Amino acid sequence: MTFLILAFAILAPTSAAFGQPDEWRWDDRRGVHLRILRDYRVPEGAVSREPIVVIGGSATIDGRAEQDIAVIGGTLRIGPNATIHGDVVTVGAEAIIDPAARIGGNVEHAAVLLPDVMAFGRFFDGWWPFLRLGTTVMRLGLFFVVGVLLVAVAPRWLGDIAHHATASPLTSALFGVAGQILFGPVMVVLAVALAISVIGIPLLLAFPFLAAATVLLWIAGFSAVAMVVGARLRGKAVAASDTAVVDLFVGLLVIAAMTLVANGLAFVSGGFGPFDWTFRVFGWVIEWIAWTVGLGAAISWVFGRRQPVAPPPVPWPSPAPSVP
C-alpha cells in the first residue's frame, strides 16, 4: 500500500502537487492528502481518512489517521494521543514517535545515503598537495622549454634583456610593476580607440597576436632573470652564451626553491600546515619579484636603447729594439 501512495504522489497532477486549500475538512474524501514543500498537521481530536503523503515538509499527527502515512525528506512527529491504523514510512526523514502513540501498521524508515563530505575532504587533502607539486613542476618545465627555445633562437635578445636586468634591477622592478598595473587599462583604451575609428577596426584582429607577443616578452624577461641568477652562482655577472641553458635551469630551480620545498613538505605531511604556508608565501614573493624584474627589463629593452658593446682596446705597437 505504501508503494502505491508514493507512486501516486509522484504522478499526481500539478494542481494537487502544491497542496490543497487550508480550509479542508479532516473527514473529507478527496484522495491522498498530498503536501509538497509544505507542512501537514492532524490536530488532536481530528480524523484523517485518506493516506497522507508529505514531500519536503514536516508532518505532525496528534489525532487519528486511518490510512498510511509517508514523509519524504522532512520530519514526522507523532504525538502521544495519536492513533494510526496504517503503516508509517519515512524516507530520508526524521521520525519522532511518542511511545504512547498507537500504530496499527508497520513503521519503516529508509535512509538516504548522501556523499561523505568529510571523506571527500580527506581525499582532497591527500591529493591536493600532490596535484600542486605536479602543477609546479609542469609549470617550471614549460618555462624551461620556452627559455631553451629562446636561447636557441634569440640568444642576443635574451642577453640584452639580462643586461638591462643586471645594470638597473630597481628600475626594472619599477617598470615591471607599472607594466602590470597599466597593461589592462592600456589595452582597453587602445581597443576602444580602434573600435571607434574606421581604420582601426581591422587592427582589432591583431589583438590576439599582441597579447601573445606580450606573454612571450614577459617569459623572455623571466628567463633572462633566471639566467642572471644562474650566472651569479657561477660568479659571473651576465650569463654567457655557451652556458646559457645551464644558467637558465639553475636559475629556475633557485627562484622556485621555496615553492618546491613548500609543495614537497605538504606532499609528505599530507596537507598544508602553517610551516608549509610560510614557505609557500615566501616562494610566491620571490617568484613575483623575478617575474616583475624580468618584465621591467623587457620593457626597458623595448623602449630603451641597446647598450653598445665597447670594442676591445687596440694594443699600442711596441717600440723597436735599439741596435747598438
In-domain check, residue 316:
no
With a CB cutoff of 8 Å and minimum separation 6, the contacts of 77 are 58, 59, 60, 61, 96
Q: Are residues 78 and 173 in the same domain?
A: no
The tally of CA atoms less than 13 A away on the side-chain side of residue 236 is 18
**Residue 72: phi, psi to the nearest 5?**
-120, 120
Q: Are residues 128 and 81 in the same domain?
A: no
DSSP state of 305: P
In-domain check, residue 317:
no
CB atoms inside a 10 Å sphere around CB 219: 20
- E strand or H helix at 59, and its extent? strand 59-61
Residue with cell 575532504: 121
Last residue of one domain, picked from the residues 110, 132, 165? 110
Helix (H, G, I), strand (E, B) or coil at 67: coil
Domain holding 22, by residue range, is: 2-110
Strand partners, 53: 34, 70
Cell of 284: 610566491
* pLDDT digits (tens), the chain, 324 positions: 544 444 444 444 433 333 444 433 434 445 688 888 889 999 999 999 999 999 888 999 999 999 999 998 889 999 999 999 999 999 876 889 999 999 999 998 876 554 544 444 444 455 666 777 788 889 888 989 998 898 888 888 888 898 888 888 888 899 889 988 988 887 787 777 766 765 666 666 777 777 888 888 889 999 999 999 988 887 776 655 667 888 889 899 999 888 888 777 776 665 556 666 788 888 889 999 999 999 999 998 888 754 444 444 545 455 555 555
Q: Are residues 163 and 241 in the same domain?
A: yes
Q: Are residues 61 and 174 in the same domain?
A: no
Total domain count, the chain: 2
The predicted-structure confidence for 171-225, as pLDDT tens digits, reads as follows 889 988 998 898 888 778 777 776 676 566 666 677 777 788 888 888 999 999 9
In-domain check, residue 150:
yes
CB atoms inside a 10 Å sphere around CB 303: 8
CB atoms inside a 10 Å sphere around CB 315: 6
> According to the 3-state scheme, what is the secondary structure of 78-118?
ECCCCEECCCEEEECCEEEECCCCEECCCEEEECCCCCCHH
Q: Are residues 296 and 249 in the same domain?
A: yes
Q: Are residues 8 and 128 in the same domain?
A: no
Angle at 120 between CA 119 and CA 123, to 5 degrees: 90
Angle at 243 between CA 237 and CA 247, to 5 degrees: 65
pTM: predicted TM-score of the whole model, two decimal places = 0.52
In-domain check, residue 320:
no
Q: Are residues 86 and 144 in the same domain?
A: no
CB atoms inside a 10 Å sphere around CB 248: 27
In-domain check, residue 72:
yes
Q: Are residues 58 and 18 in the same domain?
A: yes
Last residue of one domain, picked from the residues 87, 110, 133? 110
In-domain check, residue 227:
yes
Q: Are residues 257 and 130 in the same domain?
A: yes
Q: Are residues 281 and 133 in the same domain?
A: yes
| Type of residue found at 1 | M
Q: Are residues 97 and 140 in the same domain?
A: no
Q: Are residues 213 and 296 in the same domain?
A: yes
In-domain check, residue 323:
no
Last residue of one domain, picked from the residues 76, 110, 144? 110
Closest CA to 77 of 36, 63, 86: 63
In-domain check, residue 245:
yes
